[in-house]
Amino acid sequence: MNAKPKELSKTDWIAAAFRALVAGGPAAMNVEPLAKSLHVTKGSFYWHFKDRAALHTAMLDHWEQIATDHIIDDVEAHGGSGREKLERLIGHAVSAAPDAYGGAQAEGVLRAWAASYDPAGTSLARVDKRRRAYLTQLFKEAGLEATAARHAADIAYLASIGAQNTRATGGKMDRPSTWTYLLDRLLDQN
């Protein structure tokens, strides 16, 4: 009796492509090595994607959903004051991506990919704009006027990117006291 072939979802391929991107850069996202890593034939890939470009588009869309939409939805679902939402959002922002998607290095590698691959750059610009707008909204909810909220959002966003990059290389920049201190300064509280 033959074993049933492994059935993969589109998300399985996307996760494998993220792991390959993190491990070996954009060139590692070729169909044959991905299929081999998943222990399937290339035919499984073409069941889900027309070509590599379609995979790349699906990866970027998926990343935007899990690393932006789902996080914003979670923060809003829990409610609270602007400050409480900011604390929850920063908790998400400084957490590593799941290992299935490449772990702590995923966001940094995506940023590097965006520098050389226009669709990734376009996606990253859109995500950065949405994230910064959401941060600005939360700083306004926490009591800052519009200009101060935009500046505070930019500082917090750049700090979170720095924390992600530091964590990806083994550093620790995600201590709660550091983020509390930053929020206190940005919100001008003692």
Domains of the chain, start order: 10-186 (1.10.357.10)
- Specify the pLDDT at position 162: 85
DSSP state, residue 97:
P
Q: Residue 175: what pLDDT?
A: 67
pLDDT tens profile 24-45: 999 899 999 999 999 999 999 9
The pTM score is 0.87
pLDDT at 189: 57
Q: Which amino acid is at 82?
A: G
- The alpha carbon dihedral of 14, 19, 22, 26 has a sign of negative
Tokens of 37: 């890593």
**What is the chain's length?**
190
Question: Rounded to an integer, what distance in angstroms lies between the CA atom of residue 16 and that of residue 188?
Answer: 44
Residue 179 DSSP symbol: H
Query: What residue ranges of the chain have pLDDT lower than 50?
Result: 1-5, 190
The interaxial angle of helices 10-24 and 106-114, nearest 10 deg, is: 80
Q: What confidence score (pLDDT) does residue 7 get? A: 80
What are 158-184's pLDDT values in tens digits?
Answer: 998 888 777 666 666 556 788 889 999
Exposed/middle/buried for residue 55 (C-beta within 10 Å: 0-12, 13-18, 19+): buried
pLDDT of residue 2: 46
Instruction: Answer left, alpha or beta for residue 76, where phi above 0 means left and psi between -120 and 50 means alpha.
Output: alpha
